[in-house]
Chains A and B, each alone.
Chain A
Amino acid sequence: MIEFDAVRKEYPGGTVAVAGFSLRVPSHSVVALVGSSGSGKTTLLRMVNRMVEPTSGAVRIDDVDVRSLDPVGLRRSIGYVLQAGGLLPHRTVADNVATVPVLAGRSRREARADALGLLERVGLDPALADRYPAQLSGGQQQRVGVARALAADPDILLMDEPFGAVDPIVREQLQAELRALQAELGKTILFVTHDVDEAFALADEVVVLRAGAEIAQRGTPTEILAAPADDFVAAFVGAGTARRTLRIRELDGRRVVVDGDDRPTGVLEADAREGAP
């Protein structure tokens, strides 16, 4: 469990990145912080592994204030995935994945062997292990980033715009794989994105942020879409736009779901609760 307790971040010169933020991220759940740039979402994420220290308030992991922990040890115990992977360009894929275990004292040989298994787990051909990051596609680099974050088998994963640098098709694929991986691993995942669709696709709970990391609304994706708290949230999630307002059209006895522009998005299947037609 990650807990933000009234954290505030003010930079010298008076810029307030986070005005006062409290949130509990329950263990084994996926929580998304969504907001446009300048909402302080990345600052919040980086407070968890002490890349940023709050001016006041505290961040606790399983009731332990992170300030009482050694930053290096803390960071090694938390998986961190960031945009474009943040991989070391001069090390091979396998060595990149093995970085943290090797830092923690595991032998390079063992760590590399584990790395191959992790590569498979994130859907990469282990034959890529001896390539360098720049020889991989953006999507492949992103997978390596995820594999590296999982290498030390952390309880917590922090993800900073993890799939922001890849094209939409690859992004959806990666999101689906992350969901499958999470169903298997059950990590506590806190991630940051400006893409509300990504938040809806991945998170159990979504926190929509205004400037200064003020919480505009929090809830499950369904709750937020069903009842946006105010105009800001409504505009942010696109409620009321053609894409979000779906209707049913009957065609030869089949029910087709269309959006606000009458473009079909899918076929409505009979639902168990409704009973068969």
Chain B
Amino acid sequence: MNLVLDALAWLLDSANWDGRGGIGARILEHLGFSAAVVAAACAIGIPAGVAIGHSGRGRSLVIVLTSGARALPTLGLLTILGLALGIGLDAPFLALLVLALPPVLAGAYAGVESVARETVGASRAIGMTEWQLVRGVELPLAAPVLLGGVRSAALQVISTATLAAYVADTGLGRPLFEGLKTQRYDMMLGASLLVALLALVVELGFQLVQSAAARRAEPHRAPSGARERISA
């Protein structure tokens, strides 16, 4: 119990918040780095997943990637990449990208795949181009599942991004590793609590975005009042 109190004391000490290595800066680094990784995962995973879901080609790739890549230990991967790429953000960026890509890819693929074939077929039959079909039908209807994949990736990246501090001076992993080395367990636990809190806040944010997407995809299920807001 004392340890928890110590951790809270560390968190609440304003002296720990300021400056380049302060908690505030660490949170921003952590979020910025995580966002960059998730954005990269989206830039690769969403187009690839949508293309696979739309065309039905390359399904086995999704299965291999999602089951295979999930079995990779991120710390081990980071060690190998770190040895190859040296100190800096490159190695953790790549290691986390490998972590984030499968859920994003799977979400985009599963979302598009789940759109009713009759709806897609009818849209094509009335004269939509493939691109109009993707943009106007498949993406909006796939959005809730697709965002679920991004959400799961974001959560994993935020909680695992502490590992970046293993080879770089960045993020909330910094106080965590420092506390571990110097036996400052208040700092270590405080940093861990912050990471958990950050993950929760981001989770909440995604929940809001995801339910907004669900209302767009299935407007008739929206509670009264929501429909007017969508059509506005």
Contact = CB atoms under 8 A, between A and B. Distances in A.
A73 B124 CA distance: 11
Contacts of B220: 89, 131-135
B52 to A, nearest CB: 22
Contacts, number: 70
Given A132-B219, A135-B220, A89 B119 contact: yes
Interface residues of A, number: 31
B127 to A, nearest CB: 3
B125 A130 contact: no
Interface stretch (A11-19, A78-86, A115-123, A185-193): A78-86
A76 interface: yes
B125 A88 contact: no
Contacts of A133: 220
Contacts of A130: 231
A127 interface: no
Interface in A57-95: 72-77, 80, 82, 84-90, 92
A72 B129 contact: yes
Contacts of B118: 82, 84, 86
Contact of A86 (B119, B129, B227): B119
Contacts of B127: 72-77, 100, 103-104
B26 interface: no
A82 B219 contact: no
A80 B125 contact: yes
B137 interface: yes
B114 to A, nearest CB: 12
Interface string A172-199: 0000000000000000000000000000
A46 to B, nearest CB: 8
A73 B127 CA distance: 7
B12 to A, nearest CB: 47
Given A89-B218, A92-B231, A132-B219, A100 B126 contact: yes
B120 to A, nearest CB: 9
Given A80-B122, A86-B119, A103 B231 contact: no
Most buried by A among B122, B126, B127, B221: B126
A194 to B, nearest CB: 17
A90 B231 CA distance: 11
A109 to B, nearest CB: 14
B129 A90 contact: no
Given A89-B119, A90-B218, A148-B126, A103 B137 contact: no
A90 B216 contact: yes
Contacts of B216: 90
Contact of A82 (B125, B129, B227): B125
Interface string B128-142: 110010001100110
Contacts of B231: 92, 130
A49 interface: yes
Contacts of A77: 127
A99 interface: yes
B146 to A, nearest CB: 14
B137 A75 contact: no
B123 interface: yes
B125 A51 contact: yes
Nearest to B219: A132
7 contacts: A73-B127, A74-B127, A89-B119, A89-B141, A99-B123, A103-B128, A149-B126
Interface of A: 46, 49, 51, 72-77, 80, 82, 84-90, 92, 99-100, 103-104, 130-135, 148-149
